[in-house]
Amino acid sequence: MTAAADKVENLGNFLELEIIVAKEEERAGGLDMIYELMRMLGCEKTETVRDSYLSMLEKRGI
């Protein structure tokens, strides 16, 4: 798993979590690992964002 802490001007702070799995059938297990780490950090699934930073900025008209 890799993690990156990003500070994006006009958007705020983000934590990117990524895990690479070898096979599609391992995807659910990988997501479970990410969600478990999020839980340990006090984050909820509902706080996740799938949009790119550029997309979020465009939506704000920036």
The β-bridge partners of 7 are 13
pLDDT at 10: 93
pLDDT at 62: 84
Strands 12-18 and 2-8: antiparallel
Q: How far apart are CA 24 and CA 6, in angstroms?
A: 28
Q: Which of 42, 58, 46, 49 shows the shortest CA–CA distance to 16?
A: 49
Mean pLDDT, each 10-residue run in order, the chain (62 residues)? 95 95 95 95 92 94 87
Hey, is 15 helix, strand or coil? Answer: strand
